[in-house]
Structure 1
Amino acid sequence: MPTLYHAPNSRSTSILVLIEEMGIADRIDVIDVTVARQDGSGGPDPRNPHPEGKVPYLTDGEDHVRERGAIVAYLTDKFPEAGLGRPVGHPQRGAYLSWLFYYQGVMEPVLVLDWAKIDHPVLHATFCDLQAAIARLSEALDGQPYLLGDEYSAVDLLLSSPFHWLPDAMPKDLSIQAWVKRCANRPALKAVTEREGAK
């Protein structure tokens, strides 16, 4: 059985939401671990096999997966019947993978750099600025409710997740605000948020 190493109210919460959305909670073992927090609390947990002591971390037999985008791809490929991914051969497979990697490789770094007020021409040449990332989302949502069209998918879950955690980062773009609200109103997110809030 795959095992998810998770710290409540952290980046790995989005993977719990994915598991809930997919209806596979009975097929994934979740182990809560501690991690170092920005406020100085927490710390490394000897039960966590992640090489850097972070979460989320997924093991599946001898295999292991880290980074949220990779875990999303792994789980949606492993359980394609849940319908939240785009399996090999699907006409949107490339777009699906592109959004997962865009989040991990561009959007999250840009959001963190903007939050930390770090700016440098090299960063803009390597990634883009936050306004460009927001414009990319807005362009994708023009005329459709979700990033891949009419149906909610795991890319919506992942790419909307920072705006649930960092409401100050919410763009003024009305199409993005409406999209984030649609994603936030999903029963799976509400259920996991309630459970996490009780811990």
Structure 2
Amino acid sequence: MLTLYHAPKSRSSSVIVLLKELDALDKVEIRQVTIPRQDGSGGRDPANPHPEGKVPFLVEGEDHVRERGAIMLYLTDRFPEAGLGPLPGDPARGRYLGWLSWYQGVLEPVAILNFFKIEHPALDATFRDYDTAIQRLEEVLSQQDYLLGDRFSAADLLVASPFAFFGEGMPRPPAVDAWVQRIQSRPSMAWAREFDG
């Protein structure tokens, strides 16, 4: 059986939402663990097998997956019935993989750097600046409802997640804000907030 190591109100909460969307909650054991929090609370949990003590961490038998983009890809491939991740051969597969990777490699670093007001030309050259990243989202979301067109996917859950976490600390244009609101208003989001307490 799959096991997800999860800490409430953390990055792993978006994986909890995905499991609800996939109708796979009965196929994955969710083990709550503690993690060190930015406010100094919490701490590394010896029951968490993640090599850095972080979440989410997904285990299946002898295999494991870390990093949200990889976990979401693994789960949408593992539970394709929900249609939340285009499979190999689907013409949207490349865009799906691109958005999952873009989040991990561009948006999350840029959002954190912007939130903490850390600037350096080398960082901008490597990751892009915040405005450029948001402009990329606006270009897509001003033309369509979701990152893959009219098709909601796990990529939307992942890429929208920091907007909920940082709130007003991540300014965005109306098209991006409307998309964030569409994601946040899904029943799975309300369920996950209640699950996390």
TM-score by length of structure 1 reads 0.97
Q: Tell me by how many angstroms 1:170 deviates.
A: 3.8
Q: Tell me by how many angstroms 1:172 deviates.
A: 3.7
Aligned length: 197
Supply the distance in 1 between the matched residues of 2:182 and 2:188 (Cα, whole angstroms): 12
Q: Tell me by how many angstroms 1:188 deviates.
A: 0.3
Aligned to 1:109: 109
Supply the distance in 2 between the matched residues of 1:96 and 1:58 (Cα, whole angstroms): 20
The reply to whether residue 145 of structure 1 matches residue 150 of structure 2 is: no
What amino acid does structure 2 have at the position aligned with 1:135?
Answer: Q
Supply the distance in 1 between the matched residues of 2:39 and 2:63 (Cα, whole angstroms): 32
Q: Tell me by how many angstroms 1:22 deviates.
A: 0.7
Aligned to 1:132: 132
Aligned to 1:55: 55
The reply to whether residue 10 of structure 1 matches residue 7 of structure 2 is: no
Query: Would you say the 8 A contact 1:35–1:45 is kept in 2?
Result: yes
Aligned to 2:160: 160
The reply to whether residue 27 of structure 1 matches residue 45 of structure 2 is: no
The reply to whether residue 64 of structure 1 matches residue 91 of structure 2 is: no
Supply the distance in 2 between the matched residues of 1:195 and 1:25 (Cα, whole angstroms): 12
Supply the distance in 2 between the matched residues of 1:168 and 1:121 (Cα, whole angstroms): 25
**CA RMSD, 1 decimal:** 0.8
SS at match of 2:65: strand
Q: Deviations over 1:96-125 (max 9, x none)?
A: 000000000110000011111110000011
Query: Would you say the 8 A contact 2:111–2:170 is kept in 1?
Result: no
Query: Would you say the 8 A contact 2:15–2:72 is kept in 1?
Result: yes
Give 5+ residue unaligned stretches, structure 2: none
Supply the distance in 2 between the matched residues of 1:171 and 1:87 (Cα, whole angstroms): 33
Query: Would you say the 8 A contact 1:12–1:68 is kept in 2?
Result: yes
SS at match of 2:58: strand
Supply the distance in 2 between the matched residues of 1:166 and 1:113 (Cα, whole angstroms): 12
Give the fraction of aligned pairs with identical amino acids, expressed as a percent.
Answer: 57
Supply the distance in 2 between the matched residues of 1:195 and 1:58 (Cα, whole angstroms): 18
Supply the distance in 2 between the matched residues of 1:171 and 1:180 (Cα, whole angstroms): 12
What amino acid does structure 1 have at the position aligned with 2:25?
Answer: A
Q: Tell me by how many angstroms 1:171 deviates.
A: 2.8
Supply the distance in 2 between the matched residues of 1:195 and 1:97 (Cα, whole angstroms): 28
Query: Would you say the 8 A contact 1:170–1:177 is kept in 2?
Result: no
What amino acid does structure 1 have at the position aligned with 2:102?
Answer: Y
Q: Tell me by how many angstroms 1:16 deviates.
A: 0.2
SS at match of 1:164: helix
Supply the distance in 2 between the matched residues of 1:171 and 1:8 (Cα, whole angstroms): 25
Runs of 4+ in 1 over 3 A off after TM superposition: none
